[in-house]
Structure formats: C-alpha cells, structure tokens
Amino acid sequence: MTELCEVLIEEANVDGIAELTGRVVVLVPETGKLDQMARRVNRLMRGALERFIESDRFGELKPGQAVDLAFPGGMAADVVQVVLLDRRAKPLAVRRAGAAIAKAAINQPVSILTGPRREVDDLLLGILLRGYAFLRRFSDEDDAKSRMGAPSSIKLLVPNPDDVADQVALAKSKASGVYLTRDLINEPANVLTTTAFADQLSALKKLGVRVTVLEEPELAKLGMRALLAVGQGSQSPSKVVIMEWSGGGVAPPLALVGKGVVFDTGGISLKPAGGMEEMTMDMGGAGTVAGVMKLLAMRKAAANIVGIVGLVENMPDGNAQRPGDVVASMKGDTIEVINTDAEGRLVLADVLWYVQEKFQPRGIIDLATLTGAIVIALGDKNAGVFGNDDSLTDAFLNAAKSEGEGAWRMPLDTAYDRMLESRLADMKNSTGRPAGAVTAAKFLQRFIKEDMPWIHLDIAGVASIARNTTFSRKGATGWGVLTLDRLIADRYED
C-alpha cells in the first residue's frame, strides 16, 4: 500500500531552530501571541515574523490557513510557514491546518514547532490525509516524485515526546486505514481483480484480523445465487471475504458489509462508454470496510466487529445473466432481473442475509456505490444514509459530523415498497429512475430481519470524486473510514 511519510518526534530545543532545514512551521493564534519557540524564530529573523503578524495579510487569514515567509534570515530553513491556529481550535480546524502544511510541502522535510499544544494527533492526521498520492503505476521514479503530495518527512518538535507518542500512533493508524481504502479504490481493475482483492484482505491477518475467503463452490452450497449470477459473465471468480476483529469480549459483533464490484460494465445492460473507466471504484463499499478493519486492528479496538464483502465483476459474456432472468437469493426470495446494471443490490442481498444467519450481529451497516440517483440528489458532498433505527442512525450522523464527512438521511417510507413489485417473482431489482436511491435501499431492507438495527450508506457520490478537497486529491477520498471508527469508539467499545 501507499506508505506514510516518515514521522519523527523530538524534544523541542530553542537552540537547534536555526539549524533546521527545509520548511519550519510556526503555529500562531489569532491574538498573535508567540510561544517560546516562535519567539526564537522571530529573534532569528530579526523581528520579521512579528512584523508579518502585525500586518493586514495576517489579519486576513482564516483559521487553518497559512502563509510562507521565504528564505528567513538567520535560519538554515528555506521557508518559515506561519499557520493561524488557536490553542483551543476544534479538531477539524486543526486538521485543516495540517492539510495546509502538507499542501505546501511537496517532497520537502517539515519541522513543526508545536509548542504546548495537545492536538498533535489531529494536526498530524491532517498532514497525512492531504499528503496522500497514488503513484504506484508510474514507471518513472522521478515523474512519480514530481507528483508527490506529501512532505518527505515530518518532524514534530514537542516539549515532551513521551506525552504525544500515543497520539502520533493513533493518527498514523487512522491515516493507514484511509490509505488502504484509497489505494483499493484507485487501483485499476486489471490489477485489483477479485482474487487480488481477497489477497489484500487476507494480509490483514498479520494485524490479528481473522480472515476467511469463501469461494464459488461454497457460495453455491450456501445458496448465494443472486451474488453468483452477477459474476457469472466474468473470468474473475466471485468471492465473499469475512474479516473478524474480536476485541470486545463476548458481545455480539457489529457487522460492516461492503459491495465489492471490482469493475462494473453494467453487464448485458451495458453502460455508455463515456465515464465507464470510473467503474473501477464500484468496489468502494468493500474498500471502506477494509480500511475500517485495518484501523481497528492497528489501534486494538475494544470491540467485536465483523467486516464482510462480496467481490464480483459484472461483465457481458455468453454466460452473463440477462434482463428478464429470475434468480433466487440465499434468503429464498426470488428476484426478477430488470436491469443487469442494478447488480450491487443482488450482491448485498445475499451477503446481508448470510451475515445475519452466521453471526447474529447487534447491528448492520452496509456501504455501496449503489446508485447514480444518489449522486443526482446529493452530489459529491454527502452520502445517502438510510436507516431503520433512529438511535443507530442518529449516532452515525453525529459521528459523520464530528469527522467532517458529509452524510444526509434519506427516507425509507413503506409507500415505496409497491414500486418493487414484479409480475414474475417476489420482487424486481430495478424500478427505473424515479426515487432510484430510495427503491434500491428498500430492496436491501427486504433482506434485513425484523428488529435488526440497520443502516444503508449509498456512497456513489463521495467514494471517488473529480476534484481536490481539503483532505484529499482527485480520486478516492476514503470517505467513511474515520466516521465508522468514531461510531465504533463512541458506541461499541467498552
């Protein structure tokens, strides 16, 4: 996977500031009051830092924004970066400051004079998130380096390194989980086949995650005919991968379920050519589940979580399923296939039923790049949130707000059920364009047992986007990893 840049923790020493190379970061509150380390920088610069703070330019800065002071006199550094950040800034503001540091420090060493601050974890996390760049497929090393999004190294100069060691470790764990999700979503489909995906998930065993891979014969024996029908036109074998993290005693697990369509042509209901290359991201739900499981294992979460993903490829072939086919699910319900491009719900239907039968979880959250309709409704700012349990749904929305990841609750009214009625089977898999995201969620709800707390997250608009954001560059965002980790920490850990 993409590696985190080197992070060093050193005890702050005012006498060593003059010798720091690369970029030196000074954190200054709105009052302009300088701490001991910043005062030394100001003396070395013969008052230039203080003059800048008294200028209109500093007064125009918003929290988390930064300005470079190039080639500071009296210092070996190339740049002193002044970042506006109050000591009591909220976590997201601190992360934005970190993102500003990373954005300006491409392939350069950075030394951060943190002063007596406690939010080192959020500052570092902001740097690491914005510093991610997917460079694995460039053949020229120099070309790859020119596209780097991260500092070459990060040095945190703190009063007492022992006091922040745990914070730094947590920030690195969070970033590692997000990096795994981004890497998986960014990988091209000829590299990330269903087999390669399962192998990447199996690698989590080294962190203490129990991983089981169910192959096609086992899936057929279990009755996962809906899932198998999606992949029957592909040369890549369909698989279900189960990841178990047992850190919470005897409590039943929370289940995280992910759609893992490694490439989606639409099948016989072929998608238009324009934009089809983006369908490498149709495994975004499974990628998010993988990132969460890695994060939980790295930080040794005191909770029981099972992550389960259905890995398939949806291709047109002489053996592919057709519009008009009727398939039977593991639950036993029959489904008329109206549109083979509504394949993700067929995969999730069997996986959702399996996880309930096998694990009797205390709740289920599924994630899927499920519908274009949710993109039309919410764009790339919010995921669609559908829930049958207000307590769980509200807790998720609060976690998303805390992590700055957009999420918006959508309806699950029973009035939409009639739209799923089929002439030939118990239900149909597509109802057309009206309320497309809602009817997809209603389809999935038919595979949730009564009284099972459940959330469906339609992440089609947020998993991979065509613009830079504060914390990510164009492409995979890693949306949901931090929110689900926050939810688990707040609600399911002892």
Active site residues: 271, 345
Give the three-state DSSP class for 170. Answer: helix
State how far the Cα of 17 lies from the Cα of 265, in Å rounded to an integer: 56
State how far the Cα of 86 lies from the Cα of 64, in Å rounded to an integer: 9
State which amino acid sits at residue 494: D
- Whether the Cβ atoms of residue 316 and residue 267 lie closer than 8 Å to each other: yes
- Whether the Cβ atoms of residue 126 and residue 471 lie closer than 8 Å to each other: yes
Which of 177, 372, 413 has the alpha carbon at shortest distance from 291?
177
Find residue 92's DSSP bridge partners: none
Place of tokens 């890695």: 294
Place of tokens 């989980």: 177
Q: Buried (b) or exposed (e) across 437-465, using 16+ Cβ within 10 A?
A: bbbbbbbbbbbbeeebbbbbbbbbbbbbb
Which of 127, 173, 47 has the alpha carbon at shortest distance from 471?
127
Phi and psi torsions of 483, nearest 5° = -65, -45
